[in-house]
Amino acid sequence: MTAAPPPAGRAAVVCTIGAALPPRTVSNADLTARLDTTDDWIRSRTGIIRRHVAGADLSTTDLAVQAATQALADVEPTTVKALVVATTTPDRCCPATAPAVATRLGLTGIPAFDVAAGCTGFLYALATAAGLIAAGTARTALVVGADRLATLPAPGDRTTVPLFGDGAGAVVLRCGSADEAGVLGPVVLGSDGTGADLIRASRPGALHMDGADVFRHAIDRMSTASRQAATAVGWDLTDVDRLVPHQANSRITSFVARQLGIPDGHRLGNIAEVGNTGAASIPLLLAQAVADGRLGPGHRTLLTAFGAGLTWGAVALTWPDLSPTRLLKGAERDR
Ligand code: UT7
C-alpha cells in the first residue's frame, strides 16, 4: 500500500541520524566453539563475520536512548514533539518502550509509543511519524529502531544463532516542504499474515524460522516494494544512487539489487560487522554510511525492508545535507 502525499508544507524531512551498538562482539570463531557450524558456512551463506551482542546490563531501552542521543546531538531536544520506537524485542510486554525512552531523553509529556513490524519496523515507524507530521500532531518527531534480536534464538540453534545481533538507530524528522532534499517519498508498506509462522517466537530463546521460504519472500517483496517506492517519487530504478536494504543476508540483498538492475556498487551493506539487527538495521546502516562517506548529500536513496509478519516496505528520498548548521536552522524553524 502506498500512502497519499502529505498536505502542502507538512512533508517529513530527515534531518539527523544516530546509531548505537553494544561494545561486545561475537565472531564466527566464537560461535564455532559452541555450535555445529563453520566460519565458512556462515560467511558464504549470510555474509556475516561478527555481530554485536548486548550483555544483561544493556537493554533495548538503553540502546534506543544511546542512538537517539546521538541523533539529537545537534538539535535542541525540546523541539521533538513525538517519539515512535520500532522494536520486536521490548524490555517488557507492557508498558511500551517509547515512554521510558522519551523520559530518559528529557521529553516526558510527548506522545510516545512502539511499533512492532519485525525487521520492517523502522519503515513502519517512519511512515507513522510522517503521518503525525502530516496530521499536524508534531512538527518534529524522533524515530528509533532498536532490537536485541540475539535474545530470540534458542542458544543451541545453529540455523538462527549466527544470524542475529543487537543495536539501535534513530532519525529526527521535521516538517518541511515537498521539494526539499531529505523529504520522505510515500512509504510503501505491506503485510501477509498467511506467512505468520515462517518467522515466529513465543518468547525469547524460542525463535523458529523457515529460512529458505523467508529467503524467497524477502527477495520478492523487497524488490516489488522498491519498484513501487521509486515509481511513487517518479524515479526510474536507474536513477537510484544508493540502495539501503535491511541487512538480513548479503545474498538476499545482492539478489534484490540484481532484480532491480541496481549496480552492486550502489548497494550499501554492513551485515559482515553487525548481522541482522532487526528494526535497527536500516538506520544503523544509514548512520555508518554517512559517517564513512558512502552516503552523502544528493544521493537518490532507496530504503527497503522485509521481516516477520510477514511485513515489507520501501521508501525513496534524496539524501540531505546533515551538517549541523542546516540542522540548527531546521530546528529553529520548528520552534
Ligand atoms: O530479517 C528477515 C528475516 N530473516 C531472513 O530474511 C533470513 C532469510 N533466510 C536466510 O538468510 C537463509 O535461508 C539462511 C541463512 C537462514 C539459511 O541459508 P540457506 O542457504 O537457505 O540454508 P538452508 O536453510 O537451505 O540449509 C542448508 C543446509 C541444511 O543442511 P541439510 O539439510 O542440507 O543437510 C542446514 O541444516 O545448511 C545447514 N545449516 C547449517 N550448516 C552449518 C543451517 N545452518 C547452518 C549453520 N552451519 N549455521
Domains and CATH numbers, the chain: 8-335 (3.40.47.10)
- Let me know: does 307 contact 121? Beta carbons within 8 Å: yes
Strand order in the sheet with 311-318: 188-191, 311-318, 300-307, 242-245
Q: What is the mean pLDDT of the chain?
A: 94
Determine the pLDDT at residue 334.
Answer: 45
Q: Which three cell numbers stand for residue 240?
A: 537510484
For residue 66, the CA-to-ligand 1 centroid distance in Å is 32
Atom of ligand 1 nearest to the CA of 278: 1
Determine the pLDDT at residue 333.
Answer: 44
Radius of gyration of the chain (CA): 18
For residue 279, the CA-to-ligand 1 centroid distance in Å is 21
Taking the C-alpha atoms of residue 146 and residue 90, their distance in angstroms, rounded to an integer, is 9
**Model confidence over 263-300: pLDDT tens digits?**
999 999 999 999 999 999 999 999 999 999 999 999 99
Q: Three-class SS of residue 242?
A: strand
Determine the pLDDT at residue 165.
Answer: 98
Say whether pLDDT at 324 is over 70: no
| Residue among 210, 215, 276 to mutate when testing ligand 1 (max atoms within 8 A of CB) | 215
pTM here is 0.95
Determine the pLDDT at residue 332.
Answer: 44
Residue type, 172: V
Taking the C-alpha atoms of residue 256 and residue 272, their distance in angstroms, rounded to an integer, is 18
Q: Is 249 in the active site?
A: no
Determine the pLDDT at residue 1.
Answer: 61
Say whether pLDDT at 123 is over 60: yes
Residue 67's H or E segment, with its range, is helix 60-71
Which protein residues are within 6 Å of ligand 1, measured from CB?
37, 41-42, 45-46, 119, 158-159, 162, 199, 211-212, 214-215, 218, 248-249, 252, 276, 306-307
- Let me know: does 258 contact 272? Beta carbons within 8 Å: no
Q: Three-class SS of residue 90?
A: coil
Q: Is 299 in the active site?
A: no
**Model confidence over 212-251: pLDDT tens digits?**
999 999 999 999 999 999 999 999 999 999 999 999 999 9
| Residue among 249, 256, 282 to mutate when testing ligand 1 (max atoms within 8 A of CB) | 249
Select which of 15, 28, 52, 119 is catalytic: 119
Select which of 52, 217, 246, 299 is catalytic: 246
For residue 210, the CA-to-ligand 1 centroid distance in Å is 9
